[in-house]
Amino acid sequence: MYLLITQDGSVRYKRLKGGGTTSVDGPLKGFAGNNFEVGIGPMATTFVVSKPPYQDVDKWKMVVDEVELVKTAN
């Protein structure tokens, strides 16, 4: 799983699961609690954040759509 959220509010997401690929590229629409929505108008996807960003020793992590993500260098 790959998730990139840029400072200008652009989101790029790609996930391989069960032999299929899901990808989303679009603007960040907004937040609902810890979750966030990406897309334009009715064509939007909600990403479920079950654990918001937190620091674990020297790494930043978060859990999105049941996957633990680790922040890497740009």
pLDDT digits (tens, 9 = 90+) for 29-65: 999 999 999 999 889 999 999 999 999 999 999 999 9
43-70 exposure pattern, b = at least 16 Cβ within 10 A, e = fewer: eeeebebeeeeeeeeeeeebbbbeeebe
What global pTM score does this model have?
0.84
Domain range for 32: 2-70
pLDDT > 70: percent of the chain: 99
C-alpha 24: how far from chain center: 10
Strands (E), the chain: 2-5, 10-17, 20-32, 35-40, 43-47, 49-56, 59-64, 67-70
Residue 73 pLDDT grade (very low, low, confident, very high; cuts 50, 70, 90): confident
Task: Give the count of domains, the chain.
Answer: 1
The pLDDT score that the predictor gives to residue 74 is 62
- Asked whether the beta carbons of 23 and 17 are under 8 A apart, the reply is no
The pLDDT score that the predictor gives to residue 41 is 87
